[in-house]
Every structure is written in C-alpha cells, then in structure tokens.
Amino acid sequence: MNRRRKAQAAFEYMAIFIIVLSFVIPVWFYVFSVRSNTTEELYFSYAKNAVDKITQTADLVFSQGPPAKLKVRVYIPDNVMDAFVDSKTAVIKLAMDDHETYVTSLSTADLNGTLPSSQGLYWMNIEAMNEHVQISVI
C-alpha cells in the first residue's frame, strides 16, 4: 500500500511538471521572438539616426559654404555589412534575419568620403568644400 502512494505521488508531481511546461514553453518562444524583433528594430533605429545625423550636418555645412566644418559623434550599430556614401546619399547596409536592409538618408549636397562599417561610437568631420561635402572619420 505504501508503495502505491509513492507511485501516485510521483505521478502527480510529473503531471504538475508537464502542465507547468505546457504553459512555460509557449511563453518562452513568444518572449524570444519579441526580443529578436526588438533587437532588429533597435539596430535599424541606430542606423537611421546615424545616416540622418550625417546628412543633416552635411546640409548645414554645405549651406554655409567653405570653410564650414563640424564634428559630430555617430553610433554605428552591430550587424552592419557595409556603410558608404553614394553621390547625395548616406547608406548603411544591415543584416536583418535572413535578408539585407538598406538604411539611407538623402542630402542636398554631393557627399564624398567614407563611413565606418564596424560597430562603435565614432567622431566624424563633416566639412564643406567648393563643390561637395567631405566626410571623414577622426
């Protein structure tokens, strides 16, 4: 009789454990997927802020003309595949899950120079020249 009670208690504990797991596992998967989406949105937001700051500063120094020059601090997020300027556009190419996303910002000035493509906080010189705006990492 004593053995039967021990077996019943063990069975009840196992049933409780399975019921708890049936609630915890779906919640865990949901939290994991939300965390992944939030991280991607954060990287996208950092990249958008970076290119916007660069082009807005370029527009400002271009409107003032040479020798206008400003130093700005820009954060480049993780997951950056490439970063460059193309004519009047600052571009950061991000790796997002299974695809690539281009984050861009348009300037009124012709842009020349390079953008950092590895994660970190960078100081950049943005200087008005005769026909374009020169962008360089300090």
At 131, the pLDDT band (50, 70, 90 cuts) reads: very high
Task: Give me the pLDDT at residue 51, please.
Answer: 97
Q: Work out the average pLDDT over 12-29.
A: 92
Task: Give me the pLDDT at residue 120, please.
Answer: 95
Task: Give me the pLDDT at residue 35, please.
Answer: 76
Range of the structural domain that residue 34 is part of: 2-137
Round to whole Å and give the CA distance between 28 and 35.
11
Contacts of 105 (CB under 8 A, 6+ apart): 48, 51, 52, 54, 55, 56, 89, 90
For residue 75, give both structure tokens. 């954060």
At 52, the pLDDT band (50, 70, 90 cuts) reads: very high
* Interval 72-110: pLDDT, tens: 999 999 899 999 999 999 999 999 877 899 999 999 999
Higher pLDDT, 35 or 120: 120
The tally of domains found in the chain comes to 1
Question: In the Cβ-directed half-sphere of 40, how many Cα atoms lie within 13 Å?
Answer: 15
Task: Give me the pLDDT at residue 1, please.
Answer: 57
Q: What is the dihedral of CA 36, 75, 116, 132, to 10 degrees?
A: 130
Higher pLDDT, 34 or 16: 16
* Interval 21-51: pLDDT, tens: 999 999 988 888 777 778 888 999 999 999 9
